[in-house]
Chain A
Amino acid sequence: MIQAIAFYIFATVVIVSAGLTIASRNPVHSVMWLILAFFNAAGLMVLCGAEFIAMLLVIVYVGAVAVLFLFVVMMLDIEVAAMRAGFARYLPLGLALAVALLAEVIIAFQAWSVGGVQLAARAAPIAPEVSNIQAIGNLLYTRYLFIFEGAGLVLLVAMIGAIVLTHRKRGGVRPQNIAKQNARQPHEAIRNINQPIGQGVEL
């Protein structure tokens, strides 16, 4: 009973906030609705018993990705009229995407009505007393080890690529040399002088 109520609350909020992400005029509001959608999707994951995935969803998407979105969107100079201008131009592409997604949903429902996926035939059935994290770890570091490490390598390459693309040497900058600042001694920086009256200080 409690599960059913929780499911319908989470599911409704996900769908409504996803719709509002598209519909709201202000990009900052859009990002906020998106965050609400992520958050409730995490709630759905908890209901499925996948608490590890749920927490990762909140940490990665809500805690990091959406913060970056918000960061960028906040600095935009928002002009609603200019944003509406591209509407007609992108309409065909948008419609094509919508048709593709609709087709996928229909195919999925048709396949589902034939019968559920055979869960008992999974590669590694999970014992009920093993916690989520242990189960995922056991699978990732044995059966899917090479795929997992390959994914890690792809991410590393992407990270280095992003740094290489955006990093450029700029002239005319004087960065802080912290080690030099810390190594500075009083006798290099301070000078005691007996200044005669009526004269400027010699630098």
Chain B
Amino acid sequence: MTAFFNTTLGLPYGWAWAIATLVGILAIALPLMLAVAMVIYVDRKIWAAMALRRGPNVVGPFGLLQSFADGLKVFLQETIVPSAANRGLFLLAPIITFTVALIVWAVVPFQPGVVVANINVGLLYVLAASSLGVYGVILSGWASNSKYPFYSALRAAAQMVSYEVAIGFILISVVMWSGSFNLTDIVEAQKSVLGIPVNGFFLNPLLFPMAVMFFISALAETQRAPFDLTEAESELVAGYQTEYSSMSFALFWLGEYANVILMCALNAILFWGGYLPPFDWAPLYVVPGIVWLLLKMCFFFFVFSWVKATVPRYRYDQLMRLGWKVFLPVSLFWVFLVSGVLMYARVGVPA
């Protein structure tokens, strides 16, 4: 796109680069906000269907405009800052959550070459940005100067740090198999896994358990049910969001769902072939890659809602046990296993 602005429109290179980057960012961020609104509607419809209810069906045809009505409602509300709150950090927290949820999209490849920043350390960038997400929650809990948000913030800090360790090891085994940290290279490495014409690392018996664990860790990392202890409404009112109103609340809400969509995209990219069609068969490549990616993301979002509608919430000690005593040892062992197998296959010497 830089080339288009540079040669076709005759702009100097610096300006062409700046405008192309800005257009790229907007082309991702604006559809993403629309997707968040629709995804909340879909989420509510799926829960409703599983609970034999109707769900939102009043605003617009089939209730399609429900999320926009909700958005308008919070937009018109008054922003209340509690008098005992730490004003600066209280207002900073939702902004951090929202921003961090958006910046990760810079490295997500939608098609070969269609990515804002095709950097070599893409996967590390994803890890770095997702480790920042915890600050929004911790700060909002502390700055609210209220008991329930504070409990929620402590829970969130412990939970996100615990599951990040396991996610790190899972990603390492994917990186070892594909030989790159670049997300586009990781997707390309999934063409015809093990000589079978199916695209996706899930087919590899060594990586399939990692795919399952990554999905569960993604649930924990985005604080979705059954790991939504940070906003457990039966114990903590609404968790760290309790004191928030109006747009500051809406930013949390948007950031949370943007994170959920991102985790769906990462699941699809890392283990299920990303923008590649499910089968390595030439006619399927006629369909643009972004369609395949969106279809896979929709499927994972359905599974996210499905889990939320059916699985009861974990107890806090069970959550910590699953993270540290199950996922961490298993993923660590799997890193050894994968590296051993690769060493044997590539070098021929048992490592």
Contact = CB atoms under 8 A, between A and B. Distances in A.
Nearest to A55: B124
Interface stretch (A59-67, A94-102, A183-191): A59-67
A51 B154 CA distance: 31
B317 A55 contact: no
Given A32-B89, A63-B131, A70 B138 contact: yes
* Most chain B beta-carbon neighbours within 10 Å: one of A26, A67, A133: A67
Given A55-B125, A178-B318, A64 B131 contact: yes
A67 B181 contact: no
B183 to A, nearest CB: 14
A133 B181 contact: yes
Contacts of B121: 51-52, 55, 132-133
B104 to A, nearest CB: 12
B120 A133 contact: yes
Given A55-B121, A64-B131, A176 B317 contact: yes
A71 B181 contact: no
B22 interface: no
Contacts of A62: 128, 131-132
Given A58-B131, A63-B164, 10 more contacts: A1-B14, A32-B139, A52-B121, A52-B124, A55-B125, A67-B157, A70-B135, A70-B142, A176-B317, A178-B318
Nearest to B317: A176
Interface string B80-102: 00000010010000000000000
A154 interface: no
Nearest to B18: A2
B161 A59 contact: no
A6 to B, nearest CB: 13
B187 interface: no
A148 B164 CA distance: 24
A14 interface: no
Nearest to B88: A29
A157 interface: no
B128 A71 contact: no
A191 B121 CA distance: 59
B119 interface: yes
A71 B142 CA distance: 10
Contacts of B135: 35, 67, 70
Interface in A153-202: 176, 178
B138 A67 contact: yes
Contact of A55 (B128, B139, B153): B128
On chain B, which size bracket covers the interface?
20 to 34
B265 interface: no
A28 B142 contact: yes
Nearest to B180: A131
Contacts of A56: 124
* Most chain A beta-carbon neighbours within 10 Å: one of B124, B150, B154, B321: B124
Contacts of A132: 120-121
Contacts of A16: none
A198 to B, nearest CB: 36
Given A176-B317, A178-B321, A51 B132 contact: no
20 contacts: A32-B139, A55-B121, A55-B128, A56-B124, A58-B128, A58-B131, A59-B124, A62-B132, A63-B132, A64-B131, A67-B134, A67-B157, A70-B138, A70-B142, A74-B138, A74-B142, A74-B150, A74-B153, A133-B120, A178-B318
A133 to B, nearest CB: 6
B196 interface: no
A71 B154 contact: yes
Contacts of B131: 58-59, 62-64, 67
A136 to B, nearest CB: 11
Interface string B299-316: 000000000000000000
Interface in B12-31: 14
Interface string B109-131: 00000000001110011011001
Given A51-B120, A71-B154, A64 B317 contact: no
A59 B128 contact: yes
* Most chain A beta-carbon neighbours within 10 Å: one of B128, B135, B318: B128
Q: Which 8 A-B pairs have CB atoms at the shortest separation, nearest pair first? A: A63-B131, A55-B124, A58-B128, A131-B120, A59-B128, A74-B142, A51-B121, A55-B121
